Amino acid sequence: MTVEKKGTSNADKMDWDKLGFAYIKTDLRYVSVWKNGKWDEGKLTEDNMLTISEGSTSLHYGQQCFEGLKAYRTKDGKIQLFRPDQNAKRMAASCKRLLMPEISEEKFIDACVQVVKANADYVPPYGTGATLYLRPYVIGVGDNLGVRTAPEFIFSVFCSPVGAYFKGGLAPVNFCITDYDRAAPQGTGAAKVGGNYAASLHPHEEAVKRGFADCIYLDPATHTKIEEVGAANFFGITKDGKFVTPKSDSILPSITKYSLMAVAKEYLGLQVEERDVFIKQLDEFSEAGACGTAAVITPIGGIEYNGKLHVFHSETEVGPVTRKLYETLCGIQFGEVKAPAGWIVEAK
């Protein structure tokens, strides 16, 4: 394995308790190139700049996809990844949807582990709540002009230590319903591709300007059912204690959401339903939350729809079921609670 390393590390300058969700340049990132029909071996490099053709399909036609997963420091100092096989599978599905060469699960996990080990000093200490966020991505590169798949591709994984995406800890935030769509019924909503996020920038800014943490999208066909937040899935806890989350082909299949469904059922003994969630029936829920790798579990205080704020448990306090879900999920991720088989991969 080639490692190009010349500079000095920033790791000793970290203020772990003050981390938000922002880019911090770490020492090494993994880069692999697809050329002449195959991926090369890949290498770690200190260079965080890419030089690509001005004709790259990723620049003009959005031919790119990405992933997000985290490395966690356990109490005994080990570093572990949470379900990287699921990110590998989802990235392969995104690549397929955008006619890009897939990365094998083995190559994907190996790249992530290499990046974590090479930047181990950036994995925040246990107890700070902070983590090392990994951002794998694939982009179409090489000289090109017409709308077609790229002649070459880059697969890279970089990392950045992060704190909370929304508010810190388990603090509820409010969301509003937007009239915009982030995806189409048979579009790319289920793939983790940049175009979905570009489409969400304007609605997000409108929501923030109005004092909300973000907006929630409704289903693009009928605008009657909750889809998801711009960067997280939605769940609700019904008044009779069921864990409910929307089922839709145009939302991102969140690994956190599927993990929570298992946690709710297997650890908390709740009934779990993946089904339509009608915006006019928010009354069925006593608690609600947004979930995702970056968002972890962010309790939803209220949702504004048609000029009215529907408050769930409270705008300032987290509900009891959401708290239990959070504690169990984080317990698994940080190694305090026994994980289901195959969920944890140690970076060693």
Q: Which stretch binds ligand COI (CB under 6 A): 24-32, 142-150, 182-190, 288-296?
A: 288-296
Give residue for tokens 């005994």: 76
Residue 68 makes contact with ligand COI by CB under 6 A? yes
Q: Which stretch binds ligand PLP (CB under 6 A): 125-133, 254-262, 278-286, 311-319?
A: 254-262
Complex with ligand PLP: residue 252 or 288, whichever CB lies closer: 252
Complex with ligand PLP: residue 73 or 90, whichever CB lies closer: 90
Catalytic residue among 38, 117, 192, 257: 192
268: nearest Cα among 323, 348, 202, 226: 323
Backbone angles phi, psi at 132, to 5 degrees: -100, 115
Complex with ligand COI: residue 191 or 270, whichever CB lies closer: 191
- Identify the DSSP state of 193: B
Complex with ligand PLP: residue 232 or 264, whichever CB lies closer: 232
Q: Is residue 130 within 8 Å of 16, Cβ to Cβ?
A: yes
Residue 83 CB, shortest distance to ligand PLP, in Å, is: 9
CA angle 6, 347, 329 (to 5 degrees): 125
Binding mask 203-232 for ligand PLP (x = CB under 6 A): -------------------------x--xx
Backbone angles phi, psi at 345, to 5 degrees: -120, 120
Is 192 tagged catalytic?
A: yes
Residue 94 CB, shortest distance to ligand COI, in Å, is: 12
Rounded Cα distance, 73 and 125, in Å: 6
DSSP letter string, 253-279: --HHHHHHHHIIIIIT---EEEE--BG
Rounded Cα distance, 166 and 294, in Å: 8
Complex with ligand COI: residue 255 or 282, whichever CB lies closer: 255
Burial of 171 (0-12, 13-18, 19+ CB in 10 A): middle
Interface positions, 283-302, toward ligand PLP (CB under 6 A):
292-293
Q: Which stretch binds ligand PLP (CB under 6 A): 50-58, 105-113, 135-143, 253-261?
A: 253-261
Q: Which stretch binds ligand COI (CB under 6 A): 141-149, 233-241, 258-266, 292-300?
A: 292-300
Residue 293 makes contact with ligand COI by CB under 6 A? yes
Joined together, the tokens standing for residue 115 give: 């990046």
Residue 124 CB, shortest distance to ligand COI, in Å, is: 17
Q: Which does 309 bind (CB under 5 to 8 A by kind): ligand COI, ligand PLP, none?
A: none
CB atoms within 10 A of CB 342: 9
Determine which residue in the list 292, 299, 301, 302 makes contact with ligand COI, applying CB under 6 A. Answer: 292
Give residue for tokens 């937007």: 178
Backbone dihedral region for residue 61 (phi beyond 0: left; psi -120 to 50: alpha; all else: beta): alpha
Encoded amino acid at 38, one letter: K
Rounded Cα distance, 200 and 216, in Å: 10
Q: Which does 233 bind (CB under 5 to 8 A by kind): ligand COI, ligand PLP, none?
A: ligand PLP
Give residue for tokens 């798949």: 149
**Contact positions vs ligand PLP (CB under 6 A):** 68, 228, 231-233, 252, 254-257, 292-293
**Contact positions vs ligand COI (CB under 6 A):** 68, 231, 292-294
Catalytic annotation, residues? 192
